[in-house]
Amino acid sequence: MTEHGSGDLRLSSVTKSFERFTAVDDISLTIPQGSFFALLGPSGCGKTTTLRMVAGLEQPTVGTIHIGDADITSLKPYQRNVNTVFQSYALFPHLNIIDNVAFGLRQRKDGDWKRKAQEALDLVELGHTAKKKPTQLSGGMQQRVALARALVNRPDVLLLDEPLGALDLKLRRQMQLELKRIQSEVGLTFIHVTHDQEEAMTMADTIAVMNGGRIEQLADPSTLYEKPASTFVANFLGQSNLLPAEVSAEVASVESGVVTVRTRDHDDIAVAAEHLPPGIRSVWVGVRPEKLRIGEAGRNRLRGVVTDASFTGVATQYLVRLPWGKELVVVQQNDGSGRLPVGENVTVSWDPGQEFILDQAQDADAGVEIDDD
Amino acid sequence: MSWLRRHTVQVIGLLVMAYILLPNLVVLAFSFNKPNGRLNITWQEFSFDAWLNPCDTPGICSSVGLSLKIGIIASLTATVLGTLVAFALGRHRFRGRAGTNVLIFMPMATPEVVMGSSLLTLFIALGVGTGQTTILIAHIMFCLSFVVVTVKARIASLDPRLEEAAADLYASPAQAFRRVTLPLVAPGIAAGALLAFSLSFDDYIITNFNASPSSVTFPMYIWGAAQRGVPVQVNVIGSVLFLAAVAFVGIGQLLAAGRQRARA
């Protein structure tokens, strides 16, 4: 086994500049063969440009792209063994479904195109539509045809450009599972571009969170969620409570792997020493809303007043205002413990180790207001 | 009364149809007439004479031949050139693109008298004798604009992602053009060609300026004959053209309906 697997996709210091702005700013990535990889970020973060460079539809300004040992940087799209499922599907309207699916095979003079195309259609459960025209199919069906048309060529890398964006929520969930099933069945490398964090977390083995043309963090979904590397990631993936705190010399006691930090209210909070980045004294202590408990069950306790309670079905989301004005989001499972009225004085608690810690120099609101759709 | 109210749209539609088609029907009816003198204006008696001998008037069939010849060459040339221009304008950004767009539009906006006379001035200044060649040049020029506009509209409605998808599926630019772009733009090209042909075939004003006594097109022939009395053969040829156009459209509709049924 060499350093890189035979079919790994490698982007090395890739930059793409357009006339007025830099869409992709010096990113390096290795995507292992056979993995389901997601590029996640708000619109304009450079994820689609990255995808188009892998497809060959854009040329990097700087940097190289390899598949295995082959340098594909300057190859034209039709010379690359990479296929794309376009956001708008881009099915050929003048060809029927089977001819759409067989387009790539026939282009490569595959004598067995008829059988392979039919098999690919069967894989997406649309074998019966072979003779129809794209306009006769629903959006979800067209999406699956576009997938079959790309899959059938057995590309080294399959690119999905927000392929589920145009589908309604229910169909989208269904297609997410479908895509995941197909990917594990065919074992190809999938690169999925999306702005939907839930979609990325559901489907991908590894996610690169992009912002402003750069990769903010590259990790598996649970690491991204539990240990975000920046405030942008913390806010873009789910909700986060970020509390400013100081690691002052007198309170920094290392005791059984726990360090104490002091909040603005002079409350002492114990955090896991391993979470504390070395050499930083002003920090954000981040706690996810579902890690917080109403009551004194946890070791870290903060007092506050309930200012809002909204019932969401499986859970209730509370806003709890701390004495210095900061509002914490607390999500409690509806396990029958009863709901708290607005105005109630409560204690919010959690245990050390459930937090993540970021440098306070970062903007606490990064990635907050960017909502999907 | 309530019947009329329910069928207002149909009744108005039929009236408009009658208004549009009546002149054609009169021409058709009078092609079966056997006039007494030169004027084919009053109905005399039913006859197949003109239909059986459509060329039995001096110069008529050669003028139709010339019009067909010019129409075909002009529309083909204008279609090829116009399609290329349309792709350049529709797909590429270059210096002078906006100016070209305006220039292409000019022949459509210019009155025919102005265009015809200025072309003649040009040919005289260049010392080119008028005749078939000058008619052809004039026709290609004004047909070009219509082809460009028609084809460009079709190209504009085309999703540029389709070409990217073709490239993504291993088609070189030439193959993508042949297998995806051209088939999708073809209806626009065909429409442009037909429009060009019909414009060329029945143009009188510009043609008249740039023709010579030996190059008489069908519209010029009719105009000339009208001074003395239009022969019945003109009605015959007019009717044939009208019926051919109707048949053309009818067949097209039937084919489209057939495709629709095959899909369902």
3-state secondary structure B166-179: HHHCCCCHHHHHHH
Q: Report pLDDT for A170.
A: 83
Owning domain of residue B147? 57-230
**Residue A28 identity:** S
| Contact (CB<8Å) A90/B165 | yes
| Contact (CB<8Å) A88/B161 | yes
Domain match, B46 and B87 both: no
| Contact (CB<8Å) A56/B167 | yes
Domain match, B64 and B184 both: yes
Given the structure tokens 């996709």, which residue do they identify?
A9
Average pLDDT over every residue of A299-325: 90
Average pLDDT over every residue of A266-286: 84
Average pLDDT over every residue of A29-53: 92
Domain match, B107 and B218 both: yes
Domain match, B24 and B86 both: no
Q: What is the tally of structural domains in chain B?
A: 2
Domain match, B65 and B167 both: yes
Q: Is B63 exposed, middle or buried (0-12, 13-18, 19+ CB in 10 A)?
A: buried
Domain match, B29 and B122 both: no
Q: Is A104 exposed, middle or buried (0-12, 13-18, 19+ CB in 10 A)?
A: buried
Q: Report pLDDT for A125.
A: 86
Is the pLDDT at A250 greater than 60, yes or no?
no
Domain match, B153 and B132 both: yes
Domain match, B173 and B213 both: yes
Angle ∠(A162,A167,A172) on CA atoms, nearest 5: 80
| A84, A87, A93, A96 alpha-carbon torsion, rounded to 10° | 60
CATH of the domain at B210: 1.10.3720.10
Question: Facing residues of A9 across strands?
Answer: A31, A67
| Contact (CB<8Å) B170/A94 | no
Binned average pLDDT, 10 residues per bin, chain B of 264 residues? 87 94 91 82 84 86 94 97 94 89 90 94 92 94 95 92 94 94 93 94 93 91 86 90 91 84 61
CA–CA separation, A103 and A148 (whole Å): 11
Domain match, B76 and B130 both: yes
Q: Say yes or no: A149 contacts chain B, CB-CB below 8 A.
A: yes
* Contact list, B259 vs chain A (CB under 8 Å): none
Domain match, B78 and B118 both: yes
Is the pLDDT at A218 greater than 80, yes or no?
yes
Q: Report pLDDT for B9.
A: 93
Is the pLDDT at A372 greater than 80, yes or no?
no
Q: Report pLDDT for B47.
A: 86
Domain match, B41 and B83 both: no
Element of type H or E holding A58? none
Domain match, B124 and B83 both: yes
Higher-scoring residue by pLDDT: A263, A233: A233
CA–CA separation, A259 and A352 (whole Å): 9
Is the pLDDT at A117 greater than 50, yes or no?
yes
Q: Report pLDDT for A252.
A: 52
What is the secondary structure of chain B as a DSSP string? -HHHHHTHHHHHHHHHHHHHHHHHHHHHHHTTB--SSS---S---B--HHHH-TT-STTHHHHHHHHHHHHHHHHHHHHHHHHHHHHHHHH---TTHHHHHHHHHHHHHS-HHHHHHHHHHHHHHHTPPPSHHHHHHHHHHHHHHHHHHHHHHHHHTS-HHHHHHHHHTT--HHHHIIIIIHHHHHHHHHHHHHHHHHHHHT--HHHHHH--TT---HHHHHHHHHHH---HHHHHHHHHHHHHHHHHHHHHHHHHHHHHHHH-
Element of type H or E holding A316? strand A315-321
Q: How far is A65 from chain B (nearest CA, A)?
A: 17
Average pLDDT over every residue of A10-22: 91
A90: left (phi over 0), alpha (psi -120 to 50) or beta: left
Q: Report pLDDT for A249.
A: 60
